[in-house]
Amino acid sequence: MYSDKVMDHFQHPRNVGVIENADGVGTVGNPVCGDVMKMYLKIDNDVIVDIKFKTFGCASAIATSSMATEMIKGKTVDEALELTNKAVAEALDGLPPVKMHCSILAEEAVKSAIEDYKNKQK
């Protein structure tokens, strides 16, 4: 059902944790499945220098959170905004159709944290 990459990111998630005094924080959830993701960004000179997440959810929710953080760490804010749920799913060698909503949550969590960062810059 799950690819080896999904299982690896589920069993050994990258960038788990909290960033104190984060420059941007985004929280998203899906009330239907109960998954909740929280992303924390540390940004220096418009580059994401650190990113952490806390996810309450299924294997796919944890794996997509982990992969999304890996995909945008070191990128500029504008580059990170181009992240799509499809790219996250493809990087994990696919997700079961009933779990694609997890990749959507990962994309939304990243964008929510960036939106929070941009609002704080105003």
Catalytic residues, by residue number, are 33, 102
Which parts of the chain fold into alpha helices (H)? 4-11, 59-72, 77-81, 85-91, 100-121
Give the C-alpha separation, 113 to 72, whole Å. 12
How buried is 22 (Cβ within 10 angstroms: 0-12 exposed, 13-18 middle, 19+ buried)?
Answer: buried
